[in-house]
């Protein structure tokens, strides 16, 4: 998991650890959080972000509906079917298994499914494969002070 | 003797913490370990941090006290990470913020909002940290007979010194290590217990019989003032005095008093608890008040009651949405190198937690058979640690008690580390920005304050405090994050008003309920578990107020940027 993710190497200021200690000690307040709004997204990059957000939202909503349906529905089933307390699997009441064991594989499965779909959105949008929009690969521009440091 | 088991855990924590010192140079190093943590390591650290004393000891205790339905709590905890994965992890990481208040300012550019968020972090941090330290004190008292304050002070010192030395880098390794430790120390004794109790007890655990008569002469030490109902006259020996005959009817057992019930005596009922093994106990739904506030006054529970479903849902909402808004967990996602690995971290965490949460049921079910009297004394939280010596009074039982004590200590150390880090960040990074040196000193001061708060809290209801921390997080940070990440029209005023409404309706209402006392029924449920209405209220307020104003300039850009992945030319802002 390299943090530069294959980007071209960029120039960085090299400082010895001692200097950094000294600077950190007297620089006063630490760096504030970046203002995200400082760099406006424009043009193709903005369209691409819009597209990713819309798709991610759609997939997030289906995953949430699935999860919520399961977690709202399971107590409801147990409430409406008290007979499940008497049904036993390997000696354990099925209704106990439904609380103590069943939710975990289901939740893990949902998490895995949603992870794959969310990453697929980003891959798809990055390739421009599902976009029909070649501009997104080259036309990125950003405004004001946040110059594209890592642009190849 | 068993108390010595804590020593290796403490030493390992300090040693691993010391490793982080060499590498720590900047604020970013301290708060987020310079963002170089891989998803699997980070997921172990998230799980290690998240599995607190409430998970290690509390869930099994709740099963003894409240029934099989208490197992919905860990389901909600785990579901919280599915929400985190789906809605928050990746975009949140891409803000480049160091703390949750940082996120608020980065998104909306308002220093006032940042300060409100910092205050909420402090509220949640205190509600959550005090019970951790309290549990440390109680466990050491139980296994070693040490005075309560010793455990509290030991926990406070170890946590603050580790943090002051190593910051988040230290915390990451410590917590990852402690996750493995906790899983091992929880799973191995569980398997041993299952084997050692023999087929008869296993059968009784699966076919529980209502706890109506004491099988042997049973001493019960009440930890809190407890209202009990004697169903028939009973002869008890109180505090070692001459046995006295008490008439049937309601009574109050004073905190700290020791009642010895003879074999065959009828078990009194306790307000706010379900009798272990009763039909209501066996229903896999949460009764109206077993989360803290009081089931039926006679403690009979109400198996067919209509509130069981409502109670279960409200606990699921509070725990899942609350998990999503816990500041010490959110900050962990900032230690991932990018949004994508933050998302993977969340996914792996769902699996890790799911594995751990398979085991509390074992302790809870065995505890209800072997130590049902804990439900009288109000010390059900000790069931995990007390079980081994009940099963095997010999050295093997001692060994497993020692292992479980070490695991429990690891649990509150890891959680306290993360919480104290979040609290320190809120004070020294958001409220009063300071230098790295100041930041390193803050945990010492913060821990001292928490220790002072925890010392008089020995007899507080620990579960209620943690529940309220979740409700506050669900009603404040959860709407801020969800709307901040997905809704471009969110305004600063909307966020301010919405979070204030959420804070008041969760923390305020629960405080009022604690002061005023609660009866049974739906209103009490809604006061004790306000998340079911306070979260929608906070969301609605935030949306309604935002719609009446205009979002700050560039807010749409700020939101969209969070959804841009890192594979592209535009680097994520740091």
Walk along chain B (574 residues) in steps of 10 and give the mean pLDDT of each run: 66 66 54 66 86 82 84 92 91 80 85 90 89 81 78 83 66 76 88 86 81 80 78 81 80 80 81 76 69 36 58 87 88 82 91 92 88 78 83 85 83 82 82 71 82 76 75 92 90 93 86 64 70 90 92 82 68 46
| Whole-number pLDDT of residue B371 | 83
pTM score? 0.82
| Whole-number pLDDT of residue B68 | 87
Distance in angstroms between the alpha carbons of the first and the last residue of chain B:
50
Check if B118 contacts A (Cβ < 8 Å).
no
User: If contacts are CB pairs under 8 Å, which of residues 85-144 in chain A contact chain B?
Assistant: 85, 91-93, 95-96, 98-101, 103-105, 107-108, 110-112, 114-115, 118-119, 122-123, 125-126, 140, 142
| Whole-number pLDDT of residue B516 | 64
Q: How far is CA B332 from CA B345, B417, B472, B515, in A?
A: 10, 12, 19, 35
Of A3, A52, A93, the CB nearest to B338: A3
DSSP string computed for B333-361: HTTSSSHHHHHHHHHHHHHHHHHHTTSHH
| Whole-number pLDDT of residue B384 | 85
Pick the more confident residue, A9 or B80.
B80
CB atoms A103 and B206 under 8 Å: no
Pull the structure tokens for residue B214. Answer: 């004491």
Q: Which residues contact B241 (CB under 8 A, 6 or more apart)?
A: none
Q: If residue B236 lies in a helix (H) or strand (E), which one and from where to where?
A: strand B234-238
H helices present in B426-521, as ranges = 436-454, 462-486, 492-503, 509-516
Burial B405-432 (b: 16+ CB within 10 A, else e): bbbbbbbbbbbbbbbbbbbbbbbbbbbe
Q: Where do we find the tokens 């294959």? A: A6
Pull the structure tokens for residue B346. Answer: 């969340």
Check if A11 contacts B (Cβ < 8 Å).
no
Choose among B276, B268, B216, B219: nearest CA to B60: B276
Distance between CA atoms of residues A150 and A117, nearest Å = 27
Distance between CA atoms of residues B536 and B313, nearest Å = 14
| Whole-number pLDDT of residue B573 | 47
DSSP string computed for chain A: --TTTTPPP-------HHHHHHHHHHS-SPPPPP-GGGS-EEHHHHHHHHHHHHHHHHHHHHHHHHHHHHHHHHHHHHHH-GGGGT-EETTEEHHHHHHHTTHHHHHHHHHHHHHHHHHHHHHHHHHTTTTT-THHHH-EEE-TT---TT--
3-state secondary structure B273-297: CCCCCCHHHHCCCCCCCCCCCCCCC
Radius of gyration, alpha carbons of chain B = 24
DSSP string computed for B375-398: HHHT-GGGHHHHHHHHH--SHHHH
Q: How far is CA B448 from CA B9, B411, B443, B561, in A?
A: 21, 20, 8, 40
Across A125-138, average pLDDT: 45
DSSP string computed for B478-499: HHHHHHHHH-TT--HHHHHHHH
Contact B387, B370 (CB under 8 A): yes
Distance between CA atoms of residues B241 and B237, nearest Å = 6
Pick the more confident residue, B112 or A6.
B112
Q: Where do we find the tokens 């307390």? A: A85
3-state secondary structure B25-85: CCHHHHHHHHHCCCHHHHHHHHHHHHCCHHHHHHHHHHHHHHCHHHHHHHHHHHHHHHHHH
User: If contacts are CB pairs under 8 Å, which of residues 246-285 in chain B contact chain A?
Assistant: 282-285
Distance in angstroms between the alpha carbons of the first and the last residue of chain A:
20
Per-residue pLDDT tens over the stretch B117-142? 999 999 899 888 888 888 888 777 77
Interface with chain B: mutation pick from A36, A78, A140, highest number of B CBs within 10 Å: A36
Pull the structure tokens for residue B487. Answer: 């809704």
Distance between CA atoms of residues A85 and A93, nearest Å = 5
Distance between CA atoms of residues A15 and B294, nearest Å = 61
Choose among B467, B432, B443: nearest CA to B118: B432
Contact B342, B96 (CB under 8 A): no
Contact B290, B69 (CB under 8 A): yes
| Whole-number pLDDT of residue B116 | 92
Phi, psi of B335 (to 5 degrees): -85, -5
CB atoms B25 and A17 under 8 Å: yes
Choose among B477, B395, B418, B406: nearest CA to B120: B477
Check if A37 contacts B (Cβ < 8 Å).
yes
Distance between CA atoms of residues B18 and A77, nearest Å = 51
Across A106-113, average pLDDT: 94
CA angle B244, B249, B250 (to 5 degrees): 100
Q: What is the DSSP letter of B572?
A: P
**Reported confidence tier of residue A35, pLDDT bands at 50, 70, 90:** low
CA angle B83, B88, B91 (to 5 degrees): 155
| Whole-number pLDDT of residue A102 | 92
Q: How far does the CA of residue A130 sit from the closest CA of chain B (Å)?
A: 16
B chain contacts of residue A119, beta-carbon cutoff 8 Å: 340, 343
Q: How far is CA B1 from CA A3, B122, B143, B379, B394, in A?
A: 47, 37, 8, 22, 13
Choose among B468, B482, B487, B470: nearest CA to B558: B487
**Low-confidence winner among A14-23, A96-105, B554-563 (lowest mean pLDDT):** A14-23
């Amino acid at each position: 998991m390299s943090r530069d993710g294959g980007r071209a190497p960029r120039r960085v200021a090299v400082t010895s650890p001692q200097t950094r200690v000294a600077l950190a000690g007297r620089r006063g307040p630490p760096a504030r959080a970046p203002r995200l709004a400082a760099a406006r997204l424009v043009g193709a990059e903005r369209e691409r972000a819009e597209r990713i957000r819309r798709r991610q939202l759609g997939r997030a909503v289906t995953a949430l509906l699935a999860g919520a349906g399961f977690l709202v529905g399971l107590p409801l089933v147990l409430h409406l079917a008290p007979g499940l307390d008497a049904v036993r699997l390997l000696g354990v009441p099925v209704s106990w298994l439904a609380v103590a064991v069943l939710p975990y594989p289901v939740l893990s499965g949902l998490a895995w499914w949603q992870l794959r779909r969310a990453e697929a959105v980003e891959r798809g949008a990055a390739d421009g494969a599902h976009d029909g929009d070649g501009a997104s690969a080259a036309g990125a521009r950003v405004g004001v002070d946040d110059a594209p440091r890592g642009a190849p | 003797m068993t108390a010595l088991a804590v020593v290796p855990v403490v030493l390992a924590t300090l040693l691993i913490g010391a490793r982080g010192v060499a590498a720590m140079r900047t604020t970013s190093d301290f708060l987020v370990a310079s963002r170089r943590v891989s998803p699997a390591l980070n997921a172990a650290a998230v799980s290690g941090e998240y599995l607190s004393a409430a998970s290690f000891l509390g869930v099994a205790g709740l099963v003894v006290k409240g029934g099989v339905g208490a197992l919905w709590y860990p389901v909600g905890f785990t579901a919280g990470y599915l929400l985190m994965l789906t809605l928050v992890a990746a975009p949140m990481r891409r803000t480049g913020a160091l703390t949750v208040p940082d996120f608020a300012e980065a998104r909306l550019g308002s220093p006032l909002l940042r300060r409100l968020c910092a205050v909420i972090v402090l509220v949640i941090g205190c509600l959550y940290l005090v019970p951790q330290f309290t549990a440390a004190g109680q466990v050491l008292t139980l296994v070693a007979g040490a005075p309560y304050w010793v455990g509290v002070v030991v926990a406070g010192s170890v946590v603050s010194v580790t943090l002051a030395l190593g910051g988040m880098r230290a915390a990451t390794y410590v917590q990852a290590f402690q996750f493995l430790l906790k899983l091992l120390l929880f799973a191995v004794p569980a398997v041993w217990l299952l084997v050692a109790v023999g087929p008869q007890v296993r059968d009784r655990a699966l076919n529980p019989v209502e706890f109506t008569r004491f099988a042997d002469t049973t001493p019960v030490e009440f930890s809190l003032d407890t209202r009990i109902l004697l169903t028939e006259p009973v002869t008890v020996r109180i505090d070692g005095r001459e046995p006295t005959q008490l008439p049937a009817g309601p009574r109050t057992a004073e905190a700290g008093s020791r009642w010895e019930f003879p074999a065959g005596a009828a078990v009194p009922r306790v307000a706010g608890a379900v009798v272990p093994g009763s039909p209501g106990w066996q229903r896999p739904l949460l009764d109206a008040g077993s989360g803290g506030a009081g089931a039926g006054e006679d403690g009979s529970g109400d198996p067919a009651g209509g509130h069981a479903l409502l109670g279960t849902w409200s606990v699921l909402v509070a725990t899942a949405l609350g998990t999503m808004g816990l500041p010490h967990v959110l900050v962990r996602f900032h230690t991932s190198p990018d949004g994508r690995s933050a998302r993977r971290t969340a996914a792996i965490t769902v699996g890790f937690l799911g594995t751990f949460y398979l085991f509390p049921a074992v302790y809870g079910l065995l505890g209800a058979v072997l130590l049902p009297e804990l439900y009288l004394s109000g010390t059900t939280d000790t069931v995990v640690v007390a079980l081994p010596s009940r099963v095997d009074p010999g050295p093997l039982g001692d060994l497993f008690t020692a292992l479980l004590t070490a695991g429990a200590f690891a649990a509150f150390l890891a959680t306290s580390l993360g919480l104290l880090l979040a609290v320190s960040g809120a004070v020294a990074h958001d409220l009063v920005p300071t230098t790295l040196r100041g930041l390193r000193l803050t945990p010492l001061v913060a821990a001292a304050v928490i220790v002072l708060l925890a010392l008089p809290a020995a007899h507080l209801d620990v579960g209620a405090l943690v529940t309220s921390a979740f409700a506050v997080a669900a009603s404040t940070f959860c709407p801020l994050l969800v709307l901040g990440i997905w809704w471009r029209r969110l305004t600063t005023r909307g966020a301010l008003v919405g979070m204030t409404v959420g804070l008041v309706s969760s923390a305020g209402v629960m405080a009022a309920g604690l002061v005023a006392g609660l009866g049974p029924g739906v209103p009490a449920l809604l006061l004790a578990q306000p998340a079911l209405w306070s979260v929608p209220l906070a969301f609605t307020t935030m949306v309604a107020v935002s719609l009446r104003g205009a979002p700050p300039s560039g807010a749409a850009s700020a939101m969209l940027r969070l959804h841009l992945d890192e594979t592209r030319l535009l680097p994520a802002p740091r």
